[in-house]
Structure 1
Amino acid sequence: MEHIKDIIYAASHGILDSLRGFFLIFTLDREIELQRSLKREHKNKSARRPQTSSSNSVKEKQEEPRILHRTLQCSLLNGGVFCLSIFAFNGIILPLIEALLTFSFSFRGQLNAAQWVWSWTSPVLSATFSTLWILPLFLLSKFVNCFWFQDIADAAYKYSRGRPQLLPSVSKMIADMLFSMVIQALFLVQAMVMGLLPIAVFNGLLSMLHMCLLYSLYSFEYRWFNEGWELPKRLTHIENHWPYFFGFGLPLAILTSMPSSTLVSGCVFSVLFPFFIVSGNEAQPTTKAKYVINLFANYPLRLFSPVVALANTIFNRTIGRSRSA
């Protein structure tokens, strides 16, 4: 019973930490600007060059992206353009074309013919719309989101922790990012497989647990990467402190599971994810509820171990063979 209370406490603490970004993101830009102005004043007093420092401040202000501005751009692209275009096509354009088709055939008393024509016209229109609009816009949004998410994470990290402490070599950074992408893709497949298990209720809960941990990894990975954490350390940290990270990823997992369409779910994720990046950057899971985290460090949940073993096997049989050849 005591362990259940500890799980609930850690999970609720993670939920509260995950929601902080929705409030902090509106004040971070002002605090970052205040922090920069204080640094400029300190430099002016020490160097006594107000003109040079002011010109540098203008240049810095132009180069540094604003967190709220990047968040609004993500919302506009993913929610305002991508998601609304899907709703407009399925909710307005297709019904309008169907109504016009039915109306034109009704004069001739050929309603059956109208239904037959619409049965093959609708899939053709949907396939054309998906090919010419949805797919290019989806790829564009994913490409642009990578840069915008990184800008938000870097700006938030510099404000709270200063200069990033990255991995020692470029090759190590590239290898870590590639391996992380493979692990995340395999873990997503594992989550889907868990949802297909023939066990009522339990399969949904197990799949939700996977998605919560995966979204927590997404949210914290920018911060941990800037702190120089390698992928094994990031995964072990989540597995050891799984109650907290389950609660942290729960709001985003619930909100993205509501839409029936996978594309709309992806839009919801892209709109909300910047807030969780800020939340992950400002959260302190290793100091808050310390006794709870130390308790569950003795009972890790090794959900990432199967995909890590599979990814190692894939890399050893592909890259390892090519190197030996």
Structure 2
Amino acid sequence: MPFYALLRSILIELVYIFWFYPLYIFSFVLSTLWYNDIAKHAFEVLKSKESTTQAYGKNELTESQSISTTEIPGGFEGVCLGIGEQIYSILLLTLFFIEVFATGFIPYFGKAINFLLLSWMYAYYCFEYKWNYSNVALNRRLDFFESNWPFFAGFGSPCVIPIFFFSPLVSYGVMAILYPLFVLTAAGTQSEQVISSIRSFKGGPKKLPIFYAANKIAMSILQLLPEPSKTS
């Protein structure tokens, strides 16, 4: 009897290793690719809607009025600037993710801080697709995000709630369903315009330096890199 129990447990582990986990990883990668397509199509629909509205002569607040876009230089310089900004953005968000992970080990208040930081992280990821297509510079993204931190905390919290109530496997499955819906919402709505119009009339909360620690560490890492040699 113990032999059959051992054989059964081995077979279950083999099924998990060679079938379930690879399928789970494949679905995760495939979903990540789909998120970009979802945001792209939602952004195209939004742009076509804005052009139609402008054709009818309606005076509405446009994207450039709420969060300014950046004129990227053309040619090789523009490519280098774009690559450099993407690399710095990846480094910054990676350090912020490490910061989020570390807060989970803080006693008593760690879970609450972890929940808040995770909500901000998911909210930023949702809006990052739209900001990439809108050519919004990284410094303007961070400034807008930190100036409207209560909105983004509430926006990202539904994606984080399953992590605290379900097992990791189930929570990631629920998040995989919720996250594309929030990416679609962020890319296809005019939430930035609404936020800016409300702030212009009623003001808003003070800017909260959410990415301060990650930004300082990222800058320290970049300063350790050797400077390019100058040729005469």
| Structure 1 position 308, deviation (Å) | 1.6
Judged with a 3 Å threshold, the aligned counterparts in structure 2 of structure 1 residues 206 and 227 are, in CA distance, closer, same or farther, namely: same
Residue 212 of structure 1 contacts residue 248 of structure 1 at CA under 8 Å; is this kept in 2? yes
TM-fit CA distance, 1:138: 4.1
Answering whether residue 154 of structure 2 is matched by residue 268 of structure 1, we say no
Higher helix share: 1
For structure 2, the 5+ residue unaligned runs are 52-62, 64-68, 73-77
After the TM superposition, which residues 133-144 of structure 1 pair with which residues of structure 2 at under 5 Å, given as runs?
Answer: 133-144=19-30
Q: 2:182 & 2:129 partners in 1: Cα distance?
A: 11
Letter in 2 for 1:306: A
Structure 1's consecutive aligned runs of 4 or more residues displaced over 4 angstroms after TM superposition are: 124-127, 162-167
Which of 140, 151, 165 is equivalent to 1:244? 151
Which letter does structure 1 place at the counterpart of 2:212?
S
- Compared CA separation, residues 167 and 190, structure 1 to 2 (3 A): farther
Residue 66 of structure 2: aligned partner: none
Residues 217 and 128 (structure 1), Cα distance of their counterparts in 2 relative to 1, 3 Å cut: same
Instruction: Find the partner of 1:259 among 153, 166, 170.
Output: 166
Q: 1:306 aligns with which of 213, 220, 228?
A: 213
**Mind listing any 5+ residue stretches in structure 1 that lack a counterpart?**
1-104, 106-112
Write out per-residue CA displacement over residues 173-225 of structure 1, whole angstroms, 9 at most, x where no aligned residue: 33333332332222222112112112x2x222211110111011011111111
User: What is the aligned residue count?
Assistant: 204
Q: Could you tell me whether the CA contact under 8 Å between 1:244 and 1:285 is conserved in 2?
A: no
Distance (whole Å) between structure 2 residues aligned to residue 210 and residue 294 of structure 1: 24
Q: What TM-score, normalized to structure 2?
A: 0.73
Contact 1:216 1:248 in 2 (8 A): yes
Alignment partners' CA distance in 2, 1:311 and 1:214:
17
DSSP 3-state at the match of 2:37 = helix
Structure with more contact order per residue of length (Cα contacts < 8 Å, sep ≥ 6): 1
Structure 2: which amino acid aligns with 1:264?
V
* Residues 148-171 of structure 1, C-alpha deviations (whole Å, 9 max, x = no match): 111111111111124997873333
Aligned equivalents of 1:214 and 1:144: distance in 2? Answer: 21
2:92 aligned to which of 140, 160, 183: 183
Q: What SS is found at the alignment partner of 1:321?
A: coil
Check the 8 A contact 2:70/2:137 in 1, yes or no. Answer: no
Matching residue of 1:51:
none
Q: Are the counterparts in 2 of residues 152 and 274 from structure 1 also a CA contact under 8 Å?
A: yes
- In the other structure, the counterpart of 2:40 is 154
One-letter code of the match for 1:276? F
Q: What's the CA shift for 1:265?
A: 2.6
Q: 1:125 to 1:155 in 2, by over 3 A?
A: same
The 3-state SS of whatever aligns with 1:295 is coil
